[in-house]
Amino acid sequence: MVLKTFGWAFAVTAAGLAVGALYGGWAALGIVAVLAVLEISLSFDNAVINAGILKKMSAFWQLIFLTIGVLIAVFGMRLVFPVLIVSLTAKIGPVEAVELAINDKNRYQQLVTDAHPSIAAFGGVFLLMIFLNFIFEDREIKWQAWLERPLAKLGQVDMLAVCIALIVLLVASMTVATHAHQHGGTHADKAQTVLTAGIAGLITYLIVGGLSRFFEHRIEDEEERVEEAAKKRGPGSAAALTGKAAFFMFLYLEVIDASFSFDGVIGAFAITNDIVLMVLGLGIGAMYVRSLTVYLVRQGTLDDFVYLEHGAHYAIGALALILLITIQYQISELITGLVGVVLIGWSFWSSVRRNARLAA
């Protein structure tokens, strides 16, 4: 069962690590491995959400999502999106960005380093919004109850997450952004750039969240119509409406996938600026999203490790703060990667201990 479900993911992992080693030696292999672990850990909650929706769909639409959907996830968001980020922030063409990343690494590194304040501000605010909206939601299961319980009460204040994100952005623009790190060890005042990029990150998050809620409401409406049609018009009408509902589910899943791809890609910039290594690590993670989704649907359970979703979002929050700090200060890629791994490992161990207590 495990080999059948995760076979392709294992194969892509072996191939990705091998290419990373050939591309840049042991250091590159290590970065690819850290990126893969980070993406897999962040993708677990994505797989849980995907499985919860996918199990309601027909076998045909499940196949569409697990084939076309994974192509969009791997080659669209994980390959095209990092290139677009570098292209926009460094103000160069996408083709030129790829050519520089492969053929002129020094020039590419200079452009990305100088554009890093924009990338960090955009990504930091986007990731911070994901974390804040998670931590302010009142959940039945709480990992760090001493912290999550009072924050859930504060979360009842409307638009609190947006206010906090803007305050953090304003503080960053007046502190680390005034001495932003540039190529060659110099510093420059990037306050206005950081403010603009951070607001763009906030707007992007609000748009993605709005689209997700739109499709979610359409799905609920279609499900209600299916139930009414089954009672009043018979099976024929219900089948037609089910197909329409499945189409909205597919669109909703693609929006969800895109939003989770944002945090993975943006978080990767906190670890490396190398597009090749980024695509390798994130591509491995995207394959595990597919495999985890299939596994969870076939097993019929999403509750084995209840704290992993919490750990993933705590890792997102940590990455958000690290990105903002790196506007001025350089932080080791190893430290950045280990923060996420430690938080995910801690949440996994807490889930195992919880299961053992319940079994006892």
Residue-wise pLDDT tens digits, 70-109: 777 666 777 777 777 677 767 778 888 778 777 776 777 6
Which residues are CB-contacts of 2 (< 8 A; sequence separation ≥ 6)? 295
Q: Name the average pLDDT for the chain.
A: 77
Indicate whether 34 pLDDT > 70: yes
pLDDT at 122: 85
Residue-wise pLDDT tens digits, 171-216: 998 888 887 877 667 778 888 888 998 998 899 888 877 776 776 6
pLDDT at 170: 93
Three-state SS sequence of 264-324? HHHHHCCCCCCHHHHHHHHHHHHHHHHHHHHHHHHHCCCCCCCCHHHHHHHHHHHHHHHHH
Residue-wise pLDDT tens digits, 225-264: 666 665 665 554 444 334 566 676 677 677 666 656 665 6
| pLDDT band (50, 70, 90) for residue 139 | confident
Domain count, the chain: 1
Give me the phi and psi of 188, to 5 degrees please.
-145, 155
| CA separation for the pair 252, 309 (Å, rounded) | 20
Q: Classify each residue of 347-358 as buried b or exposed e, where b means 16 or more C-beta atoms within 10 Å of its C-beta.
A: bbebbeeeeeee
Q: Using the 8-state DSSP alphabet, how is residue 37 labeled?
A: H
Locate 59 and state its tokens.
Answer: 């076998």
pLDDT at 207: 83
Full-model pTM:
0.71
Which residue has tokens 């609190």? 160
Rounded to an integer, what is the distance from CA 300 to the centroid of its chain? 24
pLDDT at 166: 94
Contact 53/252 with Cβ under 8 angstroms? yes
Range of the domain at 219: 2-359
Higher pLDDT, 238 or 22: 22
Give me the phi and psi of 180, to 5 degrees please.
-65, 140
Indicate whether 39 pLDDT > 70: yes
